[in-house]
Structure 1
Amino acid sequence: MGLWDKRDDMLVHQTEPYNAEPPPGALAGHLTPLDTFYSRNHGPVPRIDPARWRLRVDGLVERMLELSLDELRRRFSEHQVVATLQCAGNRRADLMAFRDIPGQVPWGPAAVSTARWTGVRLAEVLAGAGLRDGAAHIAFTGGDLTVSTTPAQPFGGSVPVAKALSGEVLLAWGINGRPLPAAHGAPLRVVVPGWIGARSVKWLQRVTARAEVSDNHFHAEYSILPPDAHPRGTGIVLGPLALHCAILRPGAGSRLPAGPTEVSGYALAGDDRTVTRVDVSRDHGRTWVQAELDPPENPWTWQHWRTTLTLPAGEAELLARAWDSTAAVQPESAATVWNPRGYANNSWARVYFTCHP
């Protein structure tokens, strides 16, 4: 078992802070095992004493709260939600292949994972504090100090009140029936289903009701800039996930026998949308085959898909594209969505491999 109890074949992009994704083929199951769950960090994993830890709820509230984990469990009802978390930089490597993005983690297609989360609804905690008039955003502050800001600051961000009050948003202490481990945000983290993973702040210390969006560096950092903009600028701040799919099998660079070949992957619509169709092409997009698509457990989970194609011997390229419940379809090219930070690559999935006779 590797660092932070992860499988030995994780693709480790950085060791400090620890940033790693599993091999794509390991994501075939509906729920992702803890040793396979991707890790995205901006600083060292903090060591927090659960007995001394307290959650502070403040800002534009009638009653400031300071709650231990036991008090959270006693005062509020326990709930579970199955939700997929995806790093905003998932599939950044495909953008880098088009044009370099210096200083960013070259994520492949596996910076995404799904779990059954256990905790309390954020809406119920906010009701306990009593939101005041003018509270339009709920900000989260983590317990990790980032290594890329001067001075160092905890990781944070915010979501609009309407999302915060949605029943699926949890303050979670459990994952897949187990206590949340330190590497994934213990003793408490936010889970914001359907939104970029950066809004699901780990090692949660503070929940603040505000009139304006979070002033934390990383709230605006997760934004899409125009292609010619300076990387330190501010663009379209990211929230709901973009429609996306990836090919998990065959793996990139693999060598397979020619003939019938099973092709499989996942698709994710984001926010409260669902995926309605996935198409796969073996001839550079001239013709498409509609894949078999699993129904969603809820609007916030990925959907796996599969089909079988007969492939000739030689170099092979497979394409995949998804459609969602609004009839939106993924853009064709990484060139279309390239941006200086490499976020939200939702262009067609592409995998190159070889078939031998």
Structure 2
Amino acid sequence: MRALFFQHSRFAVFSGALRSRSLIQYNEHLLQHFRGRASSSSTNFKYGMMTAGLILFGSIISKHDHMEMCVCEPKEPAQKAESSTKATFSLEEVARHNSLSNGSGQVWVTYKGGVYNITEFIANHPGGSSKIMLAAGKQLEPFWRLYSQHTEAKAQDLLVPYKIGDLCPEDLAKLNQHQRDANDPYANDPARHPALVINTQKPFNGEVPPALITDSWITPNELFFVRNHLPVPDIDPKTYHLEVAVEGGKSLKLSMEDLRTKFKQYTVAATTQCAGNRRADMTKVKPVKGLNWTGTAISNAEWTGPKLRDVLLHAGLQDNQEGINHVQFEGLDTDTTTNYGASIPVRKAMDPRGDVILALEMNGRPLPRDHGYPVRAVVPGTVGARNVKWVGKVVASPAESTNHWQQRDYKGFGPYVDWDTVDFDKAPAIQDLPVQSAITEPCPGAKVEPGDTVTVKGYAWSGGGRGIVRVDVSLDGGKTWHQANLSEANRKQNPDQAWGWTLWEAEFKVPETASNGRLELVCKAVDSSYNVQPDTVGPIWNLRGVLSTAWHHVNVDILGPEKEDKDQPFWVPSS
């Protein structure tokens, strides 16, 4: 119980921000929220329903722990910002109010042109404060669309007491109409979800917030991490044709209609991971070249389309055809000098159990532009760099792709290689990825009390279709270990075709005697070939920062009176 209410001063969650006329709406919203998540986590559902029950209970009692409760007496509207005498606000003003600890200490959001000061509601948000804070200083609509209960009037009515004004007409126009610069090659890029953590804007590269990535086994299209190398092409599906060629043989062109109707359609659940995922961990040891991905340049989706094998057979390629060793993909994303391209071994492309598809749909919908519309190569178990987007040409060839990103990037080297000695010709291109795992909850620096129950969540995945057989979690930096619970979805995958990731979680109780220290959370995964992650970054460091798979660490602060119990094996005092 303490863990549930620590951040809210126990029953203080029931008072302050809620108006009595909104209490029933709030309770209904809360119940909907936890019912919606029941299927993904029975533990979360139990705690959520307990929380909902306590809030309902809190609405009819008057005191607890010397704190007055909100019962029937209406409260004054939420305190408005010092500048709320204005009728309108700019987007810049809203953006400045994005933290409880910095600047004004207030959090504003916009919704349908209105401006809202939600400072007092944050601690009471049924989905947790971390999720609502993702929208701090921004538009609320993209975040609310992630959960269907927000579309109901009851949920939207909760905002009403917090309205402090409206956006100025000029900025409202900016939101309603994307202003584009015709001279910018990236001007026609699609809009992105504001929750994505941006590494670069041009080209756009963004990863999923840790607080959202393990909410469900399937990553929503809007939150799927984005890795672009060039401007996003705008392709007309009516004129699009995929060129398929077998070197030394025939070639043909297939329309979107051909790809949909001439071949059997398959749906494959597969995880895509950037080679540089968790590069930030390598940078802590020694600087590397590349985007500073943290631990969420990885996502999972269901992809639908014809198998590449069937398309190549239709083009005349034979099984085990002599002289054909690779299948090349050419993307339609270009700049003034080049386009993106890559290749995979023909044995992977033609393996009936390899499940390589030319995806037309993502999670039951047409591919989003950022993810390869109209056609993307999906190569399960293989590094994201070979899952070429906006595919315009497929070539069965004796040789690898000569493209820059196949020959001069996405290759691994030893820690002794630097930019003066590197020889890309001597290293093979990355294909299957090694076993990987990371902690997504709690976040670094989260605070707990002795006696709290801490739920640790994360993901694990291995390339080549190797399933995850175990995830080990430590609270003391790796001195002692505990086995995590794996998601049900993991058990439904074939052992040698485990293309999708595994979500996991573990619960621990913070020792009552622990204080003024920290929990040093660590995770490591083991795949079906009993490959395990290395314990440190040093031996696997490389100048490009790829294949960063060392144990993942997250430190959590323990609060409380000064006590020390050295017999507790998973409490590590702060230095």
TM-score norm. by structure 1 comes to 0.94
Per the TM alignment, residue 241 of structure 1 is displaced from its structure 2 partner at its CA by 1.2
For 1:320, the equivalent position in structure 2 comes to 523
Distance 1:254 1:8, change over 3 A: farther
CA contact (8 A) 1:61 1:130 kept: no
Q: Which is helix-richer, 1 or 2? A: 2
Q: 1:14 aligns with which of 184, 200, 212?
A: 200
Task: In structure 2, give the amino acid aligned to 1:32.
Answer: T
1:143 aligns with 2:346: no
Task: In structure 1, give the amino acid aligned to 2:328.
Answer: A
1:162 aligns with 2:337: no
Q: 1:305 aligns with which of 501, 504, 520?
A: 504
Q: 1:240 aligns with which of 416, 432, 451?
A: 432
Q: 1:334 aligns with which of 537, 557, 563?
A: 537
CA contact (8 A) 1:5 1:35 kept: no
Q: 1:69 aligns with which of 246, 256, 259?
A: 256
Per the TM alignment, residue 61 of structure 1 is displaced from its structure 2 partner at its CA by 5.8
Count of residues in correspondence between the two structures: 352
1:343 aligns with 2:343: no
Distance 1:126 1:336, change over 3 A: same
1:115 aligns with 2:318: no
- Measured against aligned partners, the alpha-carbon deviations of 1:49-85 in whole angstroms (never above 9, x if no partner) come to 1111111111326321111111111211111100010
Distance 1:296 1:139, change over 3 A: farther
1:249 aligns with 2:432: no
CA contact (8 A) 1:139 1:159 kept: yes
Task: In structure 2, give the amino acid aligned to 1:7.
Answer: H
Q: Could you list the runs of 5+ residues in structure 1 that have no partner in the other structure?
A: none
Superposition pairs for residues 46-65 of structure 1, below 5 Å? 46-60=233-247, 62-65=249-252
Q: Which has the higher contact order (CA 8 A, sep 6+)?
A: 1
Task: In structure 2, give the amino acid aligned to 1:31.
Answer: I
Among the aligned pairs, what percent are the same residue?
A: 38
For 1:273, the equivalent position in structure 2 comes to 466
- Measured against aligned partners, the alpha-carbon deviations of 1:265-320 in whole angstroms (never above 9, x if no partner) come to 11001112111111111112111001111224431010011111223442331110
For 2:386, the equivalent position in structure 1 comes to 199
CA distance in 2, matches of 1:118, 1:302: 18
CA contact (8 A) 1:60 1:134 kept: no
Structure with the greater alpha carbon radius of gyration? 2
CA distance in 2, matches of 1:52, 1:230: 46
Q: Could you list the runs of 5+ residues in structure 2 that have no partner in the other structure?
A: 1-141, 144-188, 561-575
Task: In structure 2, give the amino acid aligned to 1:304.
Answer: L
CA contact (8 A) 1:7 1:35 kept: yes
Task: In structure 2, give the amino acid aligned to 1:325.
Answer: S
Distance 1:61 1:126, change over 3 A: farther
Q: Which is strand-richer, 1 or 2? A: 1
Per the TM alignment, residue 233 of structure 1 is displaced from its structure 2 partner at its CA by 3.3
CA contact (8 A) 2:246 2:316 kept: no
Secondary structure (helix, strand or coil) at the match of 1:118 reads strand
CA contact (8 A) 2:477 2:553 kept: no
CA distance in 2, matches of 1:33, 1:185: 15
CA distance in 1, matches of 2:248, 2:261: 21
